[in-house]
Amino acid sequence: MLFVENEPNNDPRINLAIEEYLIKNIAPQEDILLFYINQPSIIIGRNQITVQEINVDYVEEHGIIVVRRLSGGGAVYHDLGNLNFSFIAPNSPDNFHNFRKFTQPVVDVLLQMGVLAELSGRNDILVDGKKISGNAQYVSGARMVSHGTLLWETDLIRVGAALKAKPAKFEGKGIQSVRSRVANITDFLPGSHPGIMEFRQMIIEGVFRGEQVNEYKLTPEDWQNIEQLSRERYHNWEWNYGRSPAFAINRETRYPGGTIEAWLDVSKGGVINQVCFYGDFFGQRDVIELANTLRGTLYEPSVLQKVLDGVRVGDYFVNFSTEELLDLLY
């Protein structure tokens, strides 16, 4: 097995690119171990509807990065108190969907620390019924990735706030996250405890079982390719938001002028196919005109803002502002 150091990098768009680059290009005959710690970010599962999973206002206000990963499963919040591990191995019946094989070294280290951790269900590590680690897998050619989170000392208040989407009715093929009771590993450690990097080192030693750690050092050429991959995929709105499965969303708001209900049908590419407005509001102009203006627009706040900047919203909804309409739509 080879260990790869990410030198260290806290940008999830780079770290996910490192993982993808490794599985596709580096040492195809070797197993690989990678760790990374991300700055505040939300990592969306491959098949999820992004806007269904996040609190858009909170994410924008706090500068939280939203990025889609290649594996399935649910959305997770990362910050500097969250340690992520990734095993790259051959895609074989003994490996794929065998979460126990890849989480056991982590569980063993936790048990040695006095934390009564166990793999529960399909892919979670629990302590006292609370989730401290979620895991997912994906396949690329003859290899696979099994990666997971470890809540070491994560800001759990932010976890709840960032992943709490606006109230809305969604219909679509996206896989919605199931919220679990979560806890930090440090909550179960008596007295003083090691730092997150010391914890990482303990796992490395557990994986290599005291033997010499063989390291692959990323070259300047590797980094150049990783940064290009990061730009092309993980910095790309089309991947992070637009790739969401087709969905319909229904939102409602009450204001002094009445009630407005907005229904949108959004394609897989993130383009608005249809918009309808309902309610007991008053307006001088027919809302069908406004719906036609929005049809064909990318379902993204800055794009919607530009479109609405050229619209007199108050003509359609008396005493209702452009900002209020944008908040209703997104």
Q: Are residues 264 and 308 in the same domain?
A: yes
Q: Are residues 91 and 230 in the same domain?
A: yes
| Domain, as residue range, for 127 | 2-242
Across 138-154, average pLDDT: 94
Mean model confidence pLDDT for the chain: 91
Count other C-beta atoms under 10 Å from residue 144's C-beta. 22
Task: Specify the pLDDT at position 247.
Answer: 86
Q: Is the dihedral of CA 97, 73, 118, 142 positive or negative?
A: positive
Return the higher-pLDDT residue of 129 and 245: 129
Render pLDDT for 175-206 as a digit per residue (tens, 0 to 9).
555 556 899 999 999 778 899 999 999 999 99
pLDDT over threshold 90, residue 166: no
pLDDT over threshold 70, residue 78: yes
pLDDT-derived band at 121 (thresholds 50, 70, 90) equals confident
Q: Are residues 273 and 289 in the same domain?
A: yes
Query: Global pTM?
Result: 0.80
- Ramachandran class of 142: left when φ > 0, alpha when ψ lies in -120 to 50, beta otherwise: alpha
Q: Is the dihedral of CA 187, 189, 192, 193 positive or negative?
A: negative
Q: Are residues 270 and 173 in the same domain?
A: no
Residue ending a domain, choose from 224, 242, 260: 242
Q: Which two tokens stand for residue 311?
A: 């619209």
Residue type, 89: A
Residue ending a domain, choose from 242, 266, 283: 242
